[in-house]
Structure 1
Amino acid sequence: MNTKNYTNALAKETSPYLLMHAHNPVYWYPWRREALSMAKEQNKLMVISIGYAACHWCHVMEEESFSDKEVAAVMNKNFISIKIDREERPDLDQLFMDVAHLTTGKGGWPLNIIALPDGRPIFAGTYFQKRQWTNLLREIHLLFKKSPERLNQLALEIKQGIERMDLVGLVKESVLFTAETMDKIIDAWKSNFDLEWGGNKGAPKFPMPVEYKFLLSYLFKKSDDDVGRYIDLSLTRMAWGGIYDQVGGGFSRYAVDTYWKIPHFEKMLYDQGQLLEVYANAYQLTQNPLFKKVIEQTVDFVNRELKSPEGGYYASLDADSEGVEGKYYVWTKKEVEELLGSDGGLFCLFFNISNEGNWEDGKNVLFQTISEDEFCERHQMERESLDSVIKTGKQKLFDARNRRVRPTLDDKILTSWNAIIIKGLVHAYRATGNKSYLQNAIHASLFVKEKAIKEDGGLWRSLKGKGSINAFLDDYALLIDAWIDLYQVTFDDQWLLEAHALSEYATCHFFNEDNQLFYYTSVLDDPLMIRKSELSDNVIPASNSVMAINHFRLSKYFLNKEGYQTSLQMLKNVSGKIDSHGKYYANWQRLKLYFIHENYELVISGKGKEKARDEFLVDFNPYVFVAGQSELIPVARNKNCKELTFYLCKNNSCSLPIHSILGLKRMMRQE
């Protein structure tokens, strides 16, 4: 077990993940010039170990290996050891994860790299048992002493391989984006739809909000029964599953099975924010009460468990409590029956709780597999009675759970992830009209504006205490995106103007003139082995795809043809990739929809414009960019009216004034 008999250089850090290792007997250093220089001066190999606070296997390796004095002796004698929180330094995580994929074909966390004294990697792996780890370290150290030329050649080959992975050229010829091509991409995509349980086929099963968001935009323009069923089924099965916390709300990172039943229990802020947006958009389209319930419970969870006193939001909750994965969340049948009394049997039946358990050691994760109405029909009972049992039972379990030892909170506050939750809250407000959600989004935005923006107009990434770590492209991209959305529901010019200023700053500091894409790191950052660009969308959309959409949207508000062309050029550059690997570029596909289908700017002016805005935005329509009359916003200039007036604009040309929502919708149908 880890004790405080030892203290290393991580003790001065603020990241909970780094602090977890601050009293290991390993002489850990954070990623700093001091440690990198030390490796060169002492001609020692480096151990570079990357993880995050909510990572279960990171905890296991910390306990088994990094807290062990024998392991520490090997590491301290022969290596300079560096610990990295991947959420603070995603640039390093991306680079070294590429090394893992290149050399082993797989990746994960903890991610452990062995590098030469000059920082070039020669080995990558994930979790190792204690004996495996010590044997590996001894063998590589011996090889370094006996045959350094072999390792130098390996380092060169790895570096060249990583450089090839990132090659994207400037596409100069014209590229035609058509609805027919998009339909073919979707048809190919369907082969991976799980039309029984939702999500993609197989296990583990991850929520993919970027994919769902694109498909909802696609559905708005093209009726497709398979896609519609897939979205409805995925969102329903997730909301019923163990991946969703049936007692306290909020989503776990993923399910280990194909049925969404058993989660990997960590809860990440970015999942909550993105899934809030997806469920809000789906609720706007369907008015499904289940989706609204998920919105409400997820916002409650985020505000209760992850909100800081200043208004920002923390990074995550751990999967473990008291050193046991999922302990906080699971129940024996006996525990439930003792808490619920006569209602316990029905509650257990509905949530699939058994004596044998569906988890480990007779414990159960709560999940449902059929709707409340179907359950009532099968068991010949009134829906009102079932709802009462479920509501009362959940509250009793919630109260009992609150007396347990809680999972560890990762109290980092990251600019990019706060942008994601701000956007999610904005969409939750649009869908439900709950003004407290809008106030949460504004409060968080004011916090970020105060803490993140530097004197030169750039951003800090980490906002815990004093701002630190120069921001990466995702911090800019996601914050711009969130503040454009916040502007649309408030008509507060500051958010659109801030978004525009951040876009200008990012272009100056991150843009690659050679291929018209953005680097992930700023020109002001210390150079790494390779300056990478993030292109493929994953659980979080790629920073380049978000920036491309930002340029498109801002060009509509600021009548900026250069921004429009930048967005188009970025899309052209990756068009070959996104056509052949569609689902890995879902956010790029969403941008492509803007170039395929008509989209509009809607300027609202005059008395009652805020009420009219809210009435319009309650419906889902991703192809309209809304603005309030303002002389500070170019598209909205010279439209000052006393009575309520709408201007529907396209390609810098606006319609004659319209004076009612009905008239506006009629014109949009005609268009």
Structure 2
Amino acid sequence: MNQLQNQVSPYLLQHKDNPVHWLPWGNEALDLAIRLDKPIILSIGYAACHWCHVMEHESFENQQVADLMNEHFVCIKVDREERPDIDHIYMDALHQMGVSGGWPLNVFLMPDQKPFYGGTYFPKSNWLQLLNSIQSAFQNHKDELQQSADGFAANLEDKSIGLYPVELNELTPIIPEVLAKISKYLDPIFGGIQKAPKFPLPSLTLFIESFPEKLDTNFDVYIHSERQLEKMAQGGIYDQVGGGFSRYSVDSEWFCPHFEKMLYDNAQLVYVYSKAFQRTSNPLFEEVVNSTIHFLNRELRDSSGLYFASLDADSEGIEGQFYVWEFEELNSIIPYEKHAPFYQAFQIKRNGNWEENKNILFKNHSVLNVVYEKELQTLATVRAKRIRPQTDTKLLLAWNAMLGSGLVQASKGLNNHKFLENAIALEESMIGFWDIKNNLLLHQISYSNQPIYAFLDDYGSYGLFLIHLYNETAKVIYLEKLRKIVNGVYQNHDQMNYLFSFQSNLNAALISNKYEITDSVIPASNSMLCELFFWSGILLNDVTYTLRAKDMLAAVLEQAAANPLYHANWLRVYSEWMENPQALVKYNPSNYAKNELPQLRVTWVPIVDQSHAFLLCIGDRCLSPCESIDELLNQYNSI
């Protein structure tokens, strides 16, 4: 029988009434497969996933399909956000099979957990045919399947990662060459990568946004960032009524979103737009930051002060139903005759600008939404009466920490202290992620059977959040927590070629250990950790962390330069700390408050036990100490 009813994952609970005899991942399900000598169907998804819902409705709610699955397979459901370690392994296996990834991820395993076939969404007829074929193959050609599974499992080990380190001190500048490669893939009209579907890829945009001015003079790089951020803010991927971004656009123009809203996307985009506003003073960017934070606080903030994982793409069983409008409905509440400029600004058509006579609100030029504040507020009031998309109420450490960093950057970029207060309150709420009894960090606060301990991205994201908070507040408590984070990484994660395993060795072992290095919609956990170590070397006054950061960069840099689109966070860290090192000023906060410091293009770093007033550093090279602001200004101007 179905055994998901006692799970805490909203995704697993969505499947608790399926006639499929789903089991959660764990010893019971894995031992059962061995005891019964049955193949495993491992089905991985997440609560906000549209195609996960479609396959559930078509196949997993169907008795005929369920009978076939129950008779011949052990069926396991996994929430990819609850167990990203499992998802990493079997998504990698799917790629090895030559299949494009996505969710739902459906993989067939031998009883020993080794994969031999897989795919994503299957229509019911295809799924039934596949089930019969797999069952027959397992019964009649089991040895061949096992041989195939053994081969896939062997190739899942990240044995060659970082085997070709470069000598950082002997490198000629590579960032201009990297930029030339990236530019070939950028959309000159709508920004982002020239492809559909189109994802925001915040790491790539932040890499471009973080270039020093001297590179922009030669390569005109900032225009790429500004174009993308403006077009996204105008597009349907941005919720013009309620704020916040959807996960991606199905087209190349940011027009039609895949309507699910994820915390990690919005957290990172708050950071990127704040950084861009700090440089450009573009009021559209400021509006987006304010509106997105308001959306997050209104729609995803839990009573604990932490933030939920996502909002579903569907409502009333229809993708995007909550967000789109028919012309007649709009005309009845905002008459066209009196509000024609609004209709024109947001591209609203009588027969719809999307499918089934529906309109997605998007703008064809960079007008501020505040110009149409009354109309948008009217729509927000009406929309609030609709059936709302479901909320995935998981509380995940990494995603909350990403938002915390975004809030700190918003406070700096928009000069709004309320955002810093929001970030401080968020960090205080993170006490729930600590297993106090064992002094260990958790991936999520609630769990069904046993704790799920923090993965590498949890450590990286939380550590960077603490660094951002410390640099703004000079509160030593954040350094004390940072030291715990760094120690936890070394104690709880395996190491290979200077990199760290994604999985924690506190959780049950899986069939392979993954070392995440690819920056995608979220930065790779190791690239976050690399930046964390650079900062830890300065803030914790320990050069071994700095050396470890350099070793990590050296291990990955050749691969990153060859494929820069998906190593953008690595390249930003390399640029900021090595090739184009950022200017840092260590200052004693007992001598000067943050608001007393001069406006310079530097990162101010409070060092509470520093004997002198200021120490100007370029990367890891520091100049002679200064005892006054005038001395510091003279030194700064000299470089």
TM-score by length of 2: 0.95
Moved more, 539-548 or 553-562: 553-562
**Where does residue 366 of structure 1 map in the other structure?**
361
Measure the CA separation in 2 of the matches of 1:565 and 1:263.
43
Change (3 A) 1:18 1:209: same
**Following TM superposition, by how much is the alpha carbon of 1:422 offset from its aligned partner in structure 2, in angstroms?**
0.6
Report SS of the residue matched to 1:218: coil
Change (3 A) 1:153 1:253: same
* 1:368-387 to 2 correspondences below 5 Å: 368-372=363-367
Residue by residue over 1:508-535, the C-alpha shift from the partner in whole angstroms, topping out at 9 and shown as x without a partner, is: 22141x4111001122222211111001
**Where does residue 395 of structure 2 map in the other structure?**
413
Are 1:598 and 2:576 an aligned pair? no
Residue by residue over 1:146-172, the C-alpha shift from the partner in whole angstroms, topping out at 9 and shown as x without a partner, is: 111110111122123323x65214456
Report SS of the residue matched to 2:4: helix
1:469 aligned to 448, 452, 470, which one? 452
**Where does residue 648 of structure 1 map in the other structure?**
616
Residue by residue over 1:439-487, the C-alpha shift from the partner in whole angstroms, topping out at 9 and shown as x without a partner, is: 2111111111343354443211112489931111111111001110011
Residue by residue over 1:59-78, the C-alpha shift from the partner in whole angstroms, topping out at 9 and shown as x without a partner, is: 00111110111111111111
Change (3 A) 1:208 1:553: same
**Following TM superposition, by how much is the alpha carbon of 1:348 offset from its aligned partner in structure 2, in angstroms?**
0.9
Are 1:335 and 2:329 an aligned pair? yes
Residue by residue over 1:99-152, the C-alpha shift from the partner in whole angstroms, topping out at 9 and shown as x without a partner, is: 111103311100001111111111110001112111111111111111111101
**Where does residue 510 of structure 2 map in the other structure?**
528
**Following TM superposition, by how much is the alpha carbon of 1:356 offset from its aligned partner in structure 2, in angstroms?**
1.6
1:638 aligned to 608, 611, 615, which one? 611
Are 1:201 and 2:194 an aligned pair? yes
Report SS of the residue matched to 1:81: strand
Are 1:216 and 2:209 an aligned pair? yes
Report SS of the residue matched to 2:254: coil
Measure the CA separation in 2 of the matches of 1:123 and 1:96.
10
- Number of residue pairs the alignment of both structures matches: 633
Residue by residue over 1:321-376, the C-alpha shift from the partner in whole angstroms, topping out at 9 and shown as x without a partner, is: 00000000000112112111343322111100001212221010000111339xxx
**Where does residue 379 of structure 1 map in the other structure?**
none
**Where does residue 486 of structure 1 map in the other structure?**
469
Change (3 A) 1:666 1:359: farther
* 1:414-433 to 2 correspondences below 5 Å: 414-433=396-415
2:353 maps to a residue whose letter is N
* 1:137-152 to 2 correspondences below 5 Å: 137-152=131-146
Residue by residue over 1:410-463, the C-alpha shift from the partner in whole angstroms, topping out at 9 and shown as x without a partner, is: 000000110111111111111112222112111111111343354443211112
1:546 aligned to 528, 534, 538, which one? 528
**Where does residue 190 of structure 1 map in the other structure?**
183
Instruction: Say whether the 8 Å CA contact 1:177–1:595 is kept in structure 2.
Output: no
Measure the CA separation in 2 of the matches of 1:629 and 1:271.
32
1:507 maps to a residue whose letter is Y
Instruction: Say whether the 8 Å CA contact 2:588–2:611 is kept in structure 1.
Output: no
Report SS of the residue matched to 1:49: strand
Measure the CA separation in 1 of the matches of 2:129 and 2:570.
44
**Following TM superposition, by how much is the alpha carbon of 1:620 offset from its aligned partner in structure 2, in angstroms?**
6.5
Residue by residue over 1:375-406, the C-alpha shift from the partner in whole angstroms, topping out at 9 and shown as x without a partner, is: xxxxxxxxxxx965x11100000000000000
Report SS of the residue matched to 1:222: helix
**Following TM superposition, by how much is the alpha carbon of 1:227 offset from its aligned partner in structure 2, in angstroms?**
1.5
**Following TM superposition, by how much is the alpha carbon of 1:176 offset from its aligned partner in structure 2, in angstroms?**
4.0
**Where does residue 668 of structure 1 map in the other structure?**
636
* 1:336-355 to 2 correspondences below 5 Å: 336-341=330-335, 342-355=337-350
* 1:61-76 to 2 correspondences below 5 Å: 61-76=55-70
Report SS of the residue matched to 1:469: coil
Instruction: Say whether the 8 Å CA contact 1:16–1:412 is kept in structure 2.
Output: yes
Moved more, 347-356 or 598-607: 598-607
Measure the CA separation in 2 of the matches of 1:227 and 1:363.
37
1:114 aligned to 108, 112, 125, which one? 108
**Following TM superposition, by how much is the alpha carbon of 1:25 offset from its aligned partner in structure 2, in angstroms?**
0.6
* 1:560-599 to 2 correspondences below 5 Å: 560-593=542-575, 594-599=577-582
Measure the CA separation in 2 of the matches of 1:183 and 1:498.
37
**Structure 2: 5+ residue runs without aligned partners?**
none
Change (3 A) 1:227 1:41: same
**Following TM superposition, by how much is the alpha carbon of 1:87 offset from its aligned partner in structure 2, in angstroms?**
0.4
Instruction: Say whether the 8 Å CA contact 2:452–2:507 is kept in structure 1.
Output: no
**Where does residue 498 of structure 1 map in the other structure?**
481
Measure the CA separation in 1 of the matches of 2:102 and 2:200.
17
Instruction: Say whether the 8 Å CA contact 2:274–2:285 is kept in structure 1.
Output: yes
Structure with the greater relative contact order (CA < 8 A, sep ≥ 6): 1 or 2? 2
Change (3 A) 1:240 1:663: farther
% identical equivalent positions? 37
**Where does residue 642 of structure 1 map in the other structure?**
none
Measure the CA separation in 1 of the matches of 2:493 and 2:447.
26
**Where does residue 381 of structure 1 map in the other structure?**
none
Measure the CA separation in 2 of the matches of 1:124 and 1:271.
27
Change (3 A) 1:308 1:27: same
Measure the CA separation in 2 of the matches of 1:220 and 1:473.
33
**Where does residue 657 of structure 1 map in the other structure?**
626
Measure the CA separation in 1 of the matches of 2:269 and 2:606.
28
Are 1:160 and 2:154 an aligned pair? yes
1:494 maps to a residue whose letter is I
**Where does residue 606 of structure 2 map in the other structure?**
628
1:10 aligned to 4, 8, 13, which one? 4
Report SS of the residue matched to 1:468: coil
Report SS of the residue matched to 1:417: helix
Instruction: Say whether the 8 Å CA contact 1:329–1:365 is kept in structure 2.
Output: yes
Change (3 A) 1:551 1:629: closer
Instruction: Say whether the 8 Å CA contact 2:165–2:558 is kept in structure 1.
Output: no
* 1:429-448 to 2 correspondences below 5 Å: 429-448=411-430
Report SS of the residue matched to 2:77: strand
TM-score by length of 1: 0.91
**Following TM superposition, by how much is the alpha carbon of 1:494 offset from its aligned partner in structure 2, in angstroms?**
1.0
Measure the CA separation in 2 of the matches of 1:486 and 1:343.
48
